[in-house]
Structure formats: C-alpha cells, structure tokens
C-alpha cells in the first residue's frame, strides 16, 4: 500500500495529519469500528472525569486537605500572606490619590491654575510611583510564597511516594493515578503558582471593594455602589455558568498531555528495540510505525479536547472581558442618574465627574479581579483534583488501607472474604518457611493455594513452571512487595533477602554506584582495590578499565548516561550478580537473573554464591540449572505444585 502520510513532512502538516488519519480509518470497516470503540472509551473516561471534578463539596474537602499541607509549618506562609495584606492596604490607600490628583489636574486645566497643576504632577509622580512599587512587591512576595508551597507540597507527596514502595504500587495495583510523574513535576508547580496569584487577588480585591464602596458612597449616593454590586453579580453568574464544564475539560487535557508525553518517553526508552523490530517489516510497504500511528491517534484526541478548551476559554474570556470593558459605560450611567434621570442636579462640575468616575472604576476593578479569579479557579480545580487523587492514593497505598478504596471501587484487589496473611520476620532467621500459603494477583485471581515449603540456609531452591504461572509473583510475595496472600510466611528481615529482578536495573552513575545500589555513594564506599577484585570474580574487570578511560577523557555525560546503556544484557546481569555478592545476603532471590549468560558462567556464579554462603531461591527455565540447586519446586498449568529433592 502506498504511504498516504508521505505528504505530512511538508509545512501544513498539522491539518494533514488529522485528515489523513481519518481517511485511513474510514477505508476499512474494521478500523472504523475500532475508532468508534476508542472514541466511546474516551467519552466514558471523560464522563467519569466530569463526575469526579465538579466544584462541589468534595472539591472543597480536597482543597482543605491541600491547604492543611501548605500551612503545615504556618509561620512563614502566614507571615507572607500578612505581608501581602499589608502591601495591598498600602496600595489601596495610595491609589485613591490618583483620583484626587486627576481631578486636580483636570480642575487646573479648566481654571488655568498653574501652581495647582505643578503640585498635582509632583504628587502624581510620588503616589503613582509608590503604587507601582507596591504592585511589583506584591508580585514578588507571591512568587516567594508559590516557591515555598511548591517545596512543601512536592516534598510531602514525594515522602509518601517513596515510602513503602508506593511508587511501584501506583503503577502495579492502581488504575486511579495516571502519569504520577507529571503530577509531581509539573502539576504541583502550576498549581502553587496559580494559587499564589489567586490568593493575592483575593486579598487585594475585597480591600479595594470595601474602600471604594465607602468612597463612592461619600462622593455619590447609595444607588452607586448598589448598581456596581448588581453588575458584578450578573457577571459572576455568567462566569460560573461557563466555568463549571471547564474544570473537567481542563483536567482531561492535563491527562491527555501526560499520556502523550509518556508515549514519547517510551519511544525514547525503547528506541533500539523499536528500531530493530521494525527492520523486519516489509521494506516496500512504507507503512508507518505502530508507535507513530498510536502517537498520531492520541495526538488527535488531545487536539480535539484542546479545541474544546479553546472554545470554552473563548466563552469565559468574552464574558469576563465584556464585564471589564463595559464597566466604564455603567459608571457614566451611574453618574448621569441625578442629572438626566432624577433631575436633582442641573450640572456636575468636571472635577467631580473625574473623581466620581475614578471611584466607580476602582470599585468595578475590585469586582473584575473576582471575575478573573473565577476563570483561574477552573484551572485550579483541575490541579486540585489531580494532586489530591495522588495524595489520597499514596495515603491508602502507604498504609495498606483496605484495598477496594484504591481500585476505583470496581475491582477489589483481593477477594473480599480473603484476609491478608501473616508475615513473621525473625531478624537473622536461617530459613524461609511458607505455611499453607495461597496467593493472588493484585486483581484477585488465585495463583496457587496451600503451598508449604521450608527453604533452609544452604539448600538452594529452584522454582520452575510455565510462563505466567506465578513464579515471579511468589517471589514478590516472599519479599513483601505484594500483600495478596493467606497463610503465613516466616522469614529473615529483608536486608538478608536480596532480589534481582528479571530485567537488570542499572542506575545513572558509576560502576561503583551500580554495585552499592540500593545504597548511594554518600552512604557507603568501596575501596578501588576491592572493586577491582570483585569485578575480577566474573572476569569483567575490563569494564572498570573502560570506565576509567571515559573518566580520563572527561566525557561526563557518557559516564552517567550512554555507556551503561550500551552494555550487553549479559554484562548487565553480571553487574547485578556482583551487586548481590557485594551485599552478601543470606538468601538471594534470582528471577531468571542468569538467563543471558552462557551456562559455564552460570555454573561459576552458583559456585561463587555457595562460596559466599548465599542461598539461592532461583526462578528459571534452563534444565542446566537443576543440578546447581538442592530442591525443586514445580508448578503446572492445573495449579498443582510439588517440591522434591534434587538427586545429584
């Protein structure tokens, strides 16, 4: 099939992308059906979000919880808020002189009073200059306040995120929090900046309103503030009408932006695998990559929602701009009342008109700040919803609260009538004892039941069984990552159990740091000679030499980024094994951790573990592993299991 998307590279590409995607999907009934299903799914997702993101009681409860965190150490934020208040008082007070000065200047023009003009202009420079200083100081303090709040909120959420493996549980057990990284890195920043601005407006606006209500009453009559108030309430209700649906639309937009970024992040992380896999595609077909197709599809949904955001924002801006721009007309109508409608005065002096209209304009500007706040509140509500969902889920996962709350109330994580099993930890115990253990996936499916196995120090255990049968899950249960089991487990504390996951995990850092992990260089160090001896155990000391030459050539970025990524899977597994040997646990949980190395090296590794008195609990598929262990636990497809001694 010819590539329909080739033309996209040229300039008018955005429109083309959308058009081409639509036509291609219309070309087969199957794609159309898939597309409709996808749209339906997105619509449902949007409806759930809309339900969850109203400006209702729940919103205020969530806001209250966040405010409690922001003011958890109240002295500095309270002091800053009071400071903003003081500056706002100063600014409001000084601002009244602008009206008086304008009136005097106007008067001096009509009467030809030069000294009045000169003194008014000098005072004007002083007072209007002061007003500008107050304004910039308020903005400065607001930035400091937002910076502080970002620090407090981000640290509070990160604290929970990193505790008790919550960062893992959010991804593995929970479907309520999408893109936790976006919530921590960007949403909190945007939220705290917006909150600072809104708070400063909420402080200055009432002050302006109260003071200029008094001044309009003094310079005019009771009806003047009443009409301005009525005008404000009309503007407020129109705004509220437009604002409500915007909360969900904005929230959905943030989610789509996060998902889009994540899609591209995955392409970056798996660039090599994607490129290699796609080499085997028919080179004549010129079809686009699956990743490209998905990215475009997602981008289309994102753009459609963004279009909604723009249209609703247009409505909201029109309402608030109309309110602001029309307020001078309303002011002159108010001034005209005694003259043209009530007939109580025959004329109004020009200087009085200036000061009356200035007072009315200031009163209306106080209200228009409220209207501006209301348009920001829709954005704020979106952030509040995203941040507080994150806080709620982190709280629940950290404390292992009854798990149904955490999975949207739809799918309980364990069967409701099952109870979480008992984990007994004996500090330096020499065995891992599984007693009548039944365990489940996070979604509640039973994997195996009533397993009783005693794994003693020195008696390595090999676990074998079909793919997806539950071998890795058992290891996650043993080391306490998954709490979904009944029965009981007696084991040593986790510092005596060291798990190597299926995919070796290398951090950004030097080879020494790889070995020290999960400790950092600030917590421990390895002398150079010891590191060399360690790498020599598996004959990979050449990696240390390679690292040294990179260090010597000052290619700092290569140190932290590229070169470790270029290690072969086997080399990565060997580094993980050295990490294990360095930490010398009593038990090593090896989840296919030697699958990428040749059998003779695998044998060396197990001999080394024995020589360091590390007992292996291994998962593997290779038959050559059997003679390297003492006992074998086998699983089959019918959920049967058996343990047998290996006859060497």
Ligand X SMILES: Nc1ncnc2c1ncn2[C@@H]1O[C@H](COP(=O)(O)OP(=O)(O)OP(=O)(O)O)[C@@H](O)[C@H]1O
The token duo for 427 is 């500090």
Q: Are 371 and 234 in contact (CB under 8 A)?
A: no
- Terminal-to-terminal C-alpha distance of the chain: 59
Considering beta carbons, is residue 443 or 561 the nearer one to ligand X? 443
Considering beta carbons, is residue 458 or 468 the nearer one to ligand X? 468
Considering beta carbons, is residue 253 or 473 the nearer one to ligand X? 473
Long-range contact list for 315-318, CB < 8 A, 24+ apart?
Answer: 315/242, 316/239, 316/242, 316/243, 316/246, 316/375, 316/378, 317/375
Considering beta carbons, is residue 390 or 619 the nearer one to ligand X? 619
Considering beta carbons, is residue 305 or 469 the nearer one to ligand X? 469
Q: Per CB under 6 A, does 637 bind ligand X?
A: no
Shortest Cβ 481–ligand X spacing (Å): 10
- Greatest CA separation found in the chain? 118
Tell me the C-alpha distance between 144 and 621, whole Å: 58
Considering beta carbons, is residue 414 or 515 the nearer one to ligand X? 414
Considering beta carbons, is residue 484 or 582 the nearer one to ligand X? 484
In total, the chain counts a number of residues equal to 648
Shortest Cβ 543–ligand X spacing (Å): 28
Shortest Cβ 441–ligand X spacing (Å): 4
φ and ψ at 487, to 5 degrees?
90, -155
Q: Are 473 and 443 in contact (CB under 8 A)?
A: no
Quickly tell me which residue has 């409001």 as its tokens: 92
Q: Are 501 and 435 in contact (CB under 8 A)?
A: no
Please report, to the nearest 10 degrees, the dihedral formed by the alpha carbons of residues 240, 244, 249, 252 taken in order: 130
Shortest Cβ 500–ligand X spacing (Å): 13
Quickly tell me which residue has 């809104």 as its tokens: 198
Considering beta carbons, is residue 150 or 471 the nearer one to ligand X? 471
Q: Are 374 and 49 in contact (CB under 8 A)?
A: no
Shortest Cβ 635–ligand X spacing (Å): 7
Considering beta carbons, is residue 347 or 467 the nearer one to ligand X? 467
Considering beta carbons, is residue 107 or 470 the nearer one to ligand X? 470
Shortest Cβ 639–ligand X spacing (Å): 12
Considering beta carbons, is residue 255 or 476 the nearer one to ligand X? 476
How many residues bind ligand X (CB under 6 A)? The answer is 13
**Residue 336 region by backbone torsions, left for phi larger than 0, else alpha for psi between -120 and 50, else beta:** alpha
Considering beta carbons, is residue 442 or 504 the nearer one to ligand X? 442
Considering beta carbons, is residue 57 or 410 the nearer one to ligand X? 410
Assign 3-state DSSP to the chain and report helix, strand, coil percentages, each to 5. Answer: 65, 10, 25
Q: Per CB under 6 A, does 92 bind ligand X?
A: no
DSSP bridge partners of 438:
486
Tell me the C-alpha distance between 347 and 338, whole Å: 9
Q: Are 405 and 396 in contact (CB under 8 A)?
A: yes
H or E element at residue 210: helix 188-219
Tell me the C-alpha distance between 323 and 420, whole Å: 60
Shortest Cβ 165–ligand X spacing (Å): 13
Considering beta carbons, is residue 171 or 202 the nearer one to ligand X? 171
Tell me the C-alpha distance between 297 and 35, whole Å: 9
Considering beta carbons, is residue 178 or 254 the nearer one to ligand X? 178
Shortest Cβ 411–ligand X spacing (Å): 10
Tell me the C-alpha distance between 559 and 554, whole Å: 9
Q: Are 536 and 596 in contact (CB under 8 A)?
A: no
Shortest Cβ 620–ligand X spacing (Å): 9
Beta-carbon contacts of 84 under 8 Å, excluding residues fewer than 6 positions away, are 138, 141, 142, 145, 199, 200, 203
Residue closest to 99 by CA, chosen among 128, 119, 140, 71: 128
Q: In the range 437-496, which residues lie near ligand X by CB under 6 A?
A: 441-443, 447, 465, 467-473
Shortest Cβ 393–ligand X spacing (Å): 15
Q: In the range 156-215, which residues lie near ligand X by CB under 6 A?
A: 172
Tell me the C-alpha distance between 126 and 272, whole Å: 65
Tell me the C-alpha distance between 187 and 384, whole Å: 9
Shortest Cβ 55–ligand X spacing (Å): 35
Tell me the C-alpha distance between 403 and 411, whole Å: 9
| C-beta atoms surrounding 58 within 10 Å | 13
Shortest Cβ 274–ligand X spacing (Å): 22
Quickly tell me which residue has 């004007």 as its tokens: 124
Q: Tell me: cis bond preceding 518? Omega within 30 of 0 counts.
A: yes
Shortest Cβ 587–ligand X spacing (Å): 18
Shortest Cβ 204–ligand X spacing (Å): 50
Shortest Cβ 255–ligand X spacing (Å): 21
Tell me the C-alpha distance between 162 and 152, whole Å: 16
Binding residues for ligand X (CB under 6 A): 172, 441-443, 447, 465, 467-473
């Amino acid at each position: 099939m010819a590539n329909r998307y080739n033309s996209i590279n040229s300039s008018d590409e955005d429109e083309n992308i959308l058009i081409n995607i639509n036509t291609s999907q219309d070309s087969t009934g199957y794609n159309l059906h898939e597309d409709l299903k996808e749209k339906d799914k997105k619509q449902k997702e949007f409806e759930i979000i809309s339900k969850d993101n109203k400006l209702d009681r729940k919103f205020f409860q969530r806001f209250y919880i966040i405010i409690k965190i922001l003011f958890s150490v109240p002295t500095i934020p309270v002091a800053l808020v009071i400071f903003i208040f003081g500056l706002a008082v100063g600014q409001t007070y000084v601002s009244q002189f602008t009206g008086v000065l304008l009136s005097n200047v106007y008067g001096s023009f009509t009467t030809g009073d030069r000294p009045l003009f000169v003194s008014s202009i000098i005072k004007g420079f002083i007072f209007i200059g002061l007003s500008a200083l107050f304004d910039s100081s308020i903005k400065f303090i607001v930035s400091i306040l937002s910076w502080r709040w970002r620090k407090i909120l981000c640290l509070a959420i990160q604290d929970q995120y990193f505790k008790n493996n919550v960062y893992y549980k959010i991804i593995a057990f929970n479907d309520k929090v999408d893109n936790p990284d976006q919530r921590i890195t960007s949403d909190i920043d945007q939220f705290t900046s917006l909150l600072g601005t809104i708070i400063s407006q909420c402080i200055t606006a009432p002050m302006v309103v109260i003071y200029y209500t008094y001044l309009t009453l003094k310079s005019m009559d009771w009806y003047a503030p009443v009409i301005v108030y009525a005008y404000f309430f009309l503007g407020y209700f129109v705004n509220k009408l437009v604002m409500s649906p915007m909360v969900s639309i904005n929230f959905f937009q943030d989610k789509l932006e996060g998902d889009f970024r994540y899609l591209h992040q995955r392409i970056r992380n798996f660039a090599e695998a994607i490129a290699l896999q796609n080499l085997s595609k028919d080179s004549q077909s010129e079809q686009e990559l699956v990743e490209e197709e998905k990215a475009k599809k997602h981008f289309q949904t994102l753009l459609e929602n963004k279009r909604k955001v723009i249209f609703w924002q247009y409505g909201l801006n029109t309402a608030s701009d109309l309110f602001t721009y029309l307020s001078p007309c309303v002011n002159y109508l108010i001034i005209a009342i005694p003259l043209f409608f009530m007939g109580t005065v025959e004329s109004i002096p020009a200087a009085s008109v200036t000061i009356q209209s200035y007072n009315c304009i200031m009163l209306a500007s106080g209200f228009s700040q409220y209207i501006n706040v209301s348009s920001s509140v829709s954005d704020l509500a979106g952030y509040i919803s995203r941040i507080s969902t994150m806080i709620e889920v982190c709280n629940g996962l950290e404390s292992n609260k009854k798990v149904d709350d955490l999975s949207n109330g739809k799918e309980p994580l364990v069967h409701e009538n099952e109870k979480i099993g008992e984990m007994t930890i004996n500090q330096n115990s020499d065995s891992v004892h599984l007693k009548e253990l039944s365990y489940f996936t996070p979604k509640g499916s039973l994997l195996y039941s009533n397993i009783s196995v005693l794994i003693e120090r020195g008696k390595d255990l090999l676990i074998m069984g079909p793919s997806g049968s539950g071998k890795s899950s058992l290891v996650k249960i043993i080391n306490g990552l998954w709490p979904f089991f009944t029965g009981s487990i007696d084991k040593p504390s986790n510092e005596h159990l060291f798990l190597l996951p299926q995919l070796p995990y290398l951090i950004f850092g030097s080879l020494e740091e790889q070995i020290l992990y999960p400790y950092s260089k600030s917590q421990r160090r390895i002398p150079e000679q010891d590191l060399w001896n360690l790498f020599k155990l598996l004959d990979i000391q050449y990696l240390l030499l390679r690292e040294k030459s990179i260090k010597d050539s000052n290619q700092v970025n290569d140190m932290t980024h590229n070169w470790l990524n270029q290690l072969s899977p086997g080399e990565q597994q060997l580094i993980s094994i050295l990490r294990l040997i360095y930490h010398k646990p009593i038990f090593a949980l090896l989840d296919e951790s030697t699958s990428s190395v040749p059998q003779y090296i695998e044998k060396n590794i197990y001999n080394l573990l024995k020589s360091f008195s590390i007992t292996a609990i291994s998962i593997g598929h290779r038959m050559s592993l059997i003679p390297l262990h003492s006992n074998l636990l086998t699983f089959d497809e019918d959920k049967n299991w058996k343990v047998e001694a290996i006859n060497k």
